Structure 1
Amino acid sequence: MAKAFILIAPLLLLGNVFFINASFPPDLIIDMAKIVMDNYCSPEKLVGMKEAIEAAGSNTEVLNIPDAESLAQVLSAGVQTTVSDPRLMVSYEPDYVPAVPPQMPPLPPEQLIAVLQTSIKLDILEGNTGYLRIDNILGEEVAEKVGPLLLDLVWNKILPTSALIFDLRYTSSGDISGVPYIVSYFTEAEPPIHIDSVYDRPSNTTTKLFSMSSLLGDRYGLTKPLIILTSRTTKGIAEDVAYCLQNLKRATIVGEKTAGGSVRVEKIKVADTGFYVTVPTAKSINPVTGGTWEVTGVTPDVEVNAEDALATAIKIVNLRTQVPAIIEGAATLIADNYAFEDVGASVAEQLKGLLAQGEYNMVVSKESLEAKLSADLKTLSGDKSLVTTKNTPVLPPMDYTPEMYIELIKVSFHTDIFENNIGYLRFDMFGDFEEVKAIAQIIVEHVWNKVVNTDAMIVDLRNNIGGPTTAIAGFCSYFFDADKQVLLDKLYDRSTGTTTELQTLPQLTGTRYGSKKSLIILTSAATAGAAEEFVYIMKKLGRAMIIGETTSGASHPPQTFAVGDTDVFLSIPTVHSDTSAGPAWERAGIAPHIPVPAAAALDAAKAIFNKHFTGQK
């Protein structure tokens, strides 16, 4: 009640503050408030108004005001602020004559054709894209009269197009009964779809609008692209059409946020005066969202200036014509190259299924296509490395001096010696074998020699994101003896159909750590790629204890493939570790022997070693 009283009571007292020259009867504002209370489409916003009106009715003050226009302006500001609805207005229009909806007179066919041609703009754009602009949404009665002509002049020319751009940027009028007609041409005949509900306040009734099973002419269908253009002046029934088709996932809205009008606004005279109250008497309630476009407007899927909307829509249509070939091409690449053949075949078929189901019908840019394709590939495969990617050119090798290499190595590696002569080695990425081989002596002198003479070692891979796997055999070899070659892993390369045995190297730069001294490897959920391959080998062969978190579950370094002749690229893992004894680490990660949070892994490893060495003393 307090909120409603804010609206009424101060207005009754305006005469005591501002106005001295004229007067109006005290029940004027009460009559206005009753019109709002009895007709406003959202009665839940008017809680307490009835009591406020009754309280105001006992006030015998006479409004002293200089002119009716000033009072109307003040009242409008008050009611709009109180109810938070700019559509509510009070006006003083003593000469106002209510507009009578024009009836379409019987016209000869040639004149009717001329009228339709001036109100509807039709064009067939390059690429067989239809363009249709309608500035007024026809109601059921008018549509029945002109339907056959519309079919011949407009719709039958639109039907053969491959995509449609529906321009509502200039549409600010229409009839609510036209909404089911328009929406139905872009849906299936059966089953009927509940597309909108319209609540009428004066009658306190709700009318549900459904798609129509029977239409004049053929439907445009569900699969061909439909783009609706909007502007800030798109209003009323045009907003309803756009909102319904947007939330049915049938149309993409491009342009500006719409006006936020109403399905029905009435101008009601206040008793026997020249004052009128403009009230939205009905409201749209969308069955999909439970919300409405009224007041707030329809938010575009792609927001651009209205003058740029058509050009943007054409770009979207052009992209969507390429989508089927892109998805089909991606499916073929995955089926032919993905490391796990059965998974690749399954992903390819499911991807084609998503395309057939229309899952890619709503992409609006190359970026949104790539994002959706990546998300789908990761979901279907369970492989976070199977994604779209950028075709980043390989940078030429840097020409480092020995001094520069030394400084780079100092930054890239971290070593320490803990209590009980426990060595600590951390590095956050693996390098290519040929690059590492060229600077192996420098690494040995400035890194390896600092930890090789320890009694046990902690290798910290918690922040290691992977890199090339070509140096894995060499790094593993330092933790085995030279007198026996050890089979580390078997790598199957799908792209070549070959299997390569990964074995320890007989010769190394520097001294081996050997197979006898204890080794703990620290892992986290970020440990990925080549680092996982190293952890997998050392755990499988029983050479190290793993402490920390389950690793990322990435892959061997993937290859980049172009999808056809497009600039869409896929990152596809083509190599997997030996799975003869069961699943390896790809997609699943490696579980540690001792699971602890990554942040606590180093302390846990040190505690284990300290306890071990203390017990030996």
Structure 2
Amino acid sequence: MAQALVLLASFLIFSNVAHCDFSPRVIVDLAKILMDNYCSPEKLAGMEEAIDTGSSNTDILSISDPATLASVLTDGVKKTIFDSRVKVTYEPGYVPPAPPAMPDFPPEQLAEMIKGTVKVEVLDGNIGYLKIQHIVGEEIAQKVGPILLEYIWDKVLPTSAMILDFRSAVTGELSGIPYIVSYFTDSEPRIHIDSVYHRTSDVTTELWSMPTLLGKRYGTSKPLIVLTSKNTLGIAEDVVYCLKNLKRATIVGENTAGGSIKINKIKVGDTDFYVTVPVAKSINPITGKSWEINGVAPNVEVAAEDALDTAIAIIKLRAEIPGLVQAAAALVADNYAFPSIGDDVVEKLGAVVASGEYNQISTKKELEAKLSADLLKLSGDKCLKATSNIPARPPMNLTPEMFIELIKVSFHTDVFENNIGYLRFDMFGDFEHVAKIIAEHVWDKVVDTDMLIIDLRNNVGGSTSSIAGFCSYFFDDDKQIVLDHVYNRPSNTTSDLLTLTQLTGRRYGSKKSVIILTSGATAGAAEEFVFIMKRLGRAMIIGETTHGGCHPPETFRVGESDIYLSIPISHSDIAQGPSWEGAGIAPYIPVPADAALDTAKAILNKHFSGQK
């Protein structure tokens, strides 16, 4: 009631401009039309009481120009019910158009008419293309069925993919919705396509897919793309929305107009005012919503003029996807560090493709995301994924002085109270050829401390080539120690990672205390170092469980495409138990990463005090 009163009041308020001879009956009749015909009566609750209130109003409408009054009334309705489709016009002499009758033309002339409204073409790559401006109803389609088949449908039926161009489709018949949708579904089971509520009859009509059709169906397996523009209107929008939510088509282009399933133009009383009212509304059985007013959002949004080229690119990509996924699976089978898991991934990935989950992919980015998600789900390994092929940076032409400065800023050292050493670096590299510089400018600053804190909380990994050498500094030189066994999948070999007998600079040795700080960001090569030091009892670990990454993965190109996979090809293979890959390394003393350093210093200071 309150909303309807606001509606009526807005009409009366907007009309207080300058006196003339329009009767308040215009407003009352307009409100009555809305109450009896508007497709969403819940927005007009209490309209009857509002009409009674308006009927007793004796004020004279005060806008002298009828076109201006029509515009003011239109604004009043739109601001009240928030529906841009409702419009009041002033049209003396308006004659409602009669519904078109199906002319009794000879077949040849009918064929020419159909050719004028539907453009049919087979594009390169065996892609069918239909540009449709008007969606014919079932009755007309049945009458011209043989001509439709001969001149249009039979030409595109054998194609490998279809593009329906609705960018200029602005008219259509309600009965054409199930007719056209059914050609892209199976005969059984029947599908509830749409429900249409008719306000004037207060009846809801359900639209279902048709079990029998003239000619053969295009089916459900071949790609279907529908092109849209901001001009796509009415019945065409309903077809687009149905196909989109049935997940039968990918919509490419612009958001559609947001029209109506049915609009009537109704005379206001005995005046020359008319009100355009949506008298029916679509309620999709899948979403429970309608495309009306807001339109249909495309799956892939591009300018209307670019929609066809985009659609062709999508179809070409989809044709390549099964082969690309198969090639990706082969790379996993041949190179993934854990062979049994790799074989399982390959088998299950094939089943995912066969299920149709890749059929709606429209871009390379979507394919990479889907492939990464499936590889993670099937393997449990976050390191096995699609990736960008980032070329290696060319080596910098550094002077010796510049190189020394780079080493200095890459490592951070300090000596705390009680001669506690501190060493932080955030990435492992191939340090062998710069070992002398590191020893002189980094290691010599902490090697003579009594205790050492190694801060790897921000270390994201890197090359494992220096792991054996770095570990060796924390063991004595009297014997070689097996640090780890590393299995390599491409070569199907296992190699021993041993301490080195010869080192640049002095060892820290096996007697002095070492604490390693970790966080959830500690990954890759840093985890291998932490794993070795913890397993051999050489260091106390304080902080958070590490990332659970992998040995440095390698990048593989998938077929001849520009899609790449990041595949871990090696893993730790210690027989005593599970390694760190995927699970991370739990600290001895779990604390938040930002508290790890203070915790370590407190422990070492307490240890120092106990030795006194």
Q: Same fold (TM over 0.5)?
A: yes
Moved more, 523-532 or 191-200: 191-200
Match of 1:417 in 2: 415
Is contact 1:14–1:64 with CA below 8 Å preserved after alignment? no
* 1:194-230 superposed Cα distances (whole Å, 9 cap, x missing partner): 2222122222232222222322222222221111111
SS of aligned partner of 2:277 = strand
Match of 1:396 in 2: 394
Tell me, in whole angstroms, the C-alpha distance in 2 between the residues paired with 1:264 and 1:460.
70
Tell me, in whole angstroms, the C-alpha distance in 2 between the residues paired with 1:409 and 1:125.
60
Q: 1:141 aligns with which of 123, 139, 142?
A: 139
Match of 1:582 in 2: 577
Structure 1 residue 407, shift from structure 2 partner: 0.8
Match of 1:231 in 2: 229
Match of 2:366 in 1: 368
Give yes or no for the alignment of 1:9 onto 2:9: yes
Q: Percent identity?
A: 64
Tell me, in whole angstroms, the C-alpha distance in 2 between the residues paired with 1:272 and 1:118.
40
Is contact 1:165–1:228 with CA below 8 Å preserved after alignment? yes
Match of 1:61 in 2: 59
Match of 1:308 in 2: 306
Give yes or no for the alignment of 1:475 onto 2:470: yes
Is contact 1:14–1:63 with CA below 8 Å preserved after alignment? no
Give yes or no for the alignment of 1:541 onto 2:536: yes
SS of aligned partner of 1:509 = coil
Match of 1:493 in 2: 488
Is contact 1:28–1:270 with CA below 8 Å preserved after alignment? yes
Match of 2:18 in 1: 19
* 1:448-486 superposed Cα distances (whole Å, 9 cap, x missing partner): 111112222111111111001111001111111111211
Match of 2:179 in 1: 181
Moved more, 473-482 or 345-354: 345-354
* 1:410-432 superposed Cα distances (whole Å, 9 cap, x missing partner): 11111112222221111000002
- CA change 1:480–1:102 in 2 (3 A) is same
Structure 1 segment 405-554 matched on structure 2, within 5 A: 405-432=403-430, 436-554=431-549
- CA change 1:596–1:205 in 2 (3 A) is farther
* 1:79-99 superposed Cα distances (whole Å, 9 cap, x missing partner): 112111110011122312222
Structure 1 segment 142-291 matched on structure 2, within 5 A: 142-291=140-289
Structure 1 residue 129, shift from structure 2 partner: 0.7
Match of 1:102 in 2: 100
Tell me, in whole angstroms, the C-alpha distance in 2 between the residues paired with 1:217 and 1:582.
65
Structure 1 residue 560, shift from structure 2 partner: 1.4
Is contact 1:13–1:63 with CA below 8 Å preserved after alignment? no
- CA change 1:254–1:406 in 2 (3 A) is same
Match of 1:331 in 2: 329
- CA change 1:14–1:588 in 2 (3 A) is closer
- CA change 1:259–1:404 in 2 (3 A) is same
Tell me, in whole angstroms, the C-alpha distance in 2 between the residues paired with 1:2 and 1:283.
24
Tell me, in whole angstroms, the C-alpha distance in 2 between the residues paired with 1:10 and 1:214.
52
Q: Report the count of equivalent residues.
A: 612
* AA in 1 matched with 2:473: Y
Tell me, in whole angstroms, the C-alpha distance in 2 between the residues paired with 1:493 and 1:78.
75
Match of 2:29 in 1: 31
Q: 1:359 aligns with which of 351, 357, 362?
A: 357
* AA in 2 matched with 1:572: I
Q: 1:565 aligns with which of 527, 542, 560?
A: 560
Is contact 2:484–2:574 with CA below 8 Å preserved after alignment? no
Q: 1:46 aligns with which of 44, 59, 67?
A: 44
Tell me, in whole angstroms, the C-alpha distance in 2 between the residues paired with 1:51 and 1:542.
86
Is contact 2:262–2:280 with CA below 8 Å preserved after alignment? yes
Structure 1 residue 10, shift from structure 2 partner: 4.2
Structure 1 residue 579, shift from structure 2 partner: 4.8
Tell me, in whole angstroms, the C-alpha distance in 1 between the residues paired with 2:100 and 2:324.
51
* 1:326-366 superposed Cα distances (whole Å, 9 cap, x missing partner): 11111111111111011111111222122111211122222
Tell me, in whole angstroms, the C-alpha distance in 1 between the residues paired with 2:85 and 2:416.
74
Match of 2:608 in 1: 613
- CA change 1:14–1:426 in 2 (3 A) is closer
Give yes or no for the alignment of 1:378 onto 2:376: yes
Tell me, in whole angstroms, the C-alpha distance in 1 between the residues paired with 2:43 and 2:575.
69
Structure 1 segment 65-144 matched on structure 2, within 5 A: 65-144=63-142
User: Which ranges of structure 1 fall in alignment gaps of 5 or more residues?
Assistant: none
Tell me, in whole angstroms, the C-alpha distance in 1 between the residues paired with 2:11 and 2:220.
54
Structure 1 residue 239, shift from structure 2 partner: 0.8
Give the TM-score taking structure 1 as reference length: 0.96
- CA change 1:204–1:602 in 2 (3 A) is farther
Tell me, in whole angstroms, the C-alpha distance in 2 between the residues paired with 1:583 and 1:154.
64
Tell me, in whole angstroms, the C-alpha distance in 2 between the residues paired with 1:210 and 1:471.
68
Is contact 1:73–1:90 with CA below 8 Å preserved after alignment? yes
SS of aligned partner of 1:24 = coil
SS of aligned partner of 1:99 = coil
SS of aligned partner of 2:144 = helix
Tell me, in whole angstroms, the C-alpha distance in 1 between the residues paired with 2:562 and 2:532.
37
Tell me, in whole angstroms, the C-alpha distance in 2 between the residues paired with 1:199 and 1:616.
87
Is contact 1:527–1:552 with CA below 8 Å preserved after alignment? yes
Tell me, in whole angstroms, the C-alpha distance in 2 between the residues paired with 1:327 and 1:508.
47
CA RMSD of aligned residues (A): 1.7
Tell me, in whole angstroms, the C-alpha distance in 2 between the residues paired with 1:611 and 1:206.
80
SS of aligned partner of 1:468 = coil
Is contact 1:466–1:530 with CA below 8 Å preserved after alignment? yes
Tell me, in whole angstroms, the C-alpha distance in 1 between the residues paired with 2:518 and 2:528.
12
Tell me, in whole angstroms, the C-alpha distance in 2 between the residues paired with 1:599 and 1:210.
61
* AA in 1 matched with 2:11: L
Tell me, in whole angstroms, the C-alpha distance in 2 between the residues paired with 1:604 and 1:393.
41
Is contact 1:560–1:572 with CA below 8 Å preserved after alignment? yes
Tell me, in whole angstroms, the C-alpha distance in 2 between the residues paired with 1:10 and 1:297.
27
Give yes or no for the alignment of 1:592 onto 2:587: yes
* AA in 2 matched with 1:606: K
Is contact 2:554–2:567 with CA below 8 Å preserved after alignment? yes
- CA change 1:297–1:405 in 2 (3 A) is same
* 1:510-537 superposed Cα distances (whole Å, 9 cap, x missing partner): 1111111111111111111101111111
Structure 1 residue 3, shift from structure 2 partner: 4.1
